[in-house]
Amino acid sequence: MAGTEELTVLKVPAKLKGAEAQGLKAMLAERRGRPVALDFGQVTQVGAQCLQVLLAANRVWQAEGTAFEIKNMSAEVRDGLLLCGLPPSQLGAKEAQE
């Protein structure tokens, strides 16, 4: 059962731009139905295509009742999302993170 599985933390590239979207999508697809946390500790840029992948993944995991979160989102990335009108929580980030 998905609710009893341990959260898997996945590291993502520092720059999540268009070229990385397919790889990100494939990485998440392999783990669908299992609790996942993405470590954004090194991320400095997130492009539109990767944002779409992250938004879709967060919605799928929520619909399935499985944990999906983004950890260690930098203030720089968080501020960039907010400037675009996208609350980081819509990607699965916890608002209290720094």
Tens of pLDDT, residue by residue over 48-80, are 999 999 999 999 999 999 999 999 999 999 999
DSSP of 20-88, one letter per residue? GHHHHHHHHHHTTTS-EEEE-TT--EE-HHHHHHHHHHHHHHHHTT--EEEES--HHHHHHHHHTT--G
Predicted model pTM: 0.87
CA dist., res. 6 & res. 15, Å (int): 27
Q: Which two tokens stand for residue 88?
A: 């980081």
Q: Tell me, what's the pLDDT at 4?
A: 61
CA dist., res. 79 & res. 21, Å (int): 21
Q: Which fold has domain 2-91?
A: Transcription Regulator spoIIAA (3.30.750)
Q: Is 10 helix (H, G, I), strand (E, B) or coil?
A: strand
Residues in the chain: 98
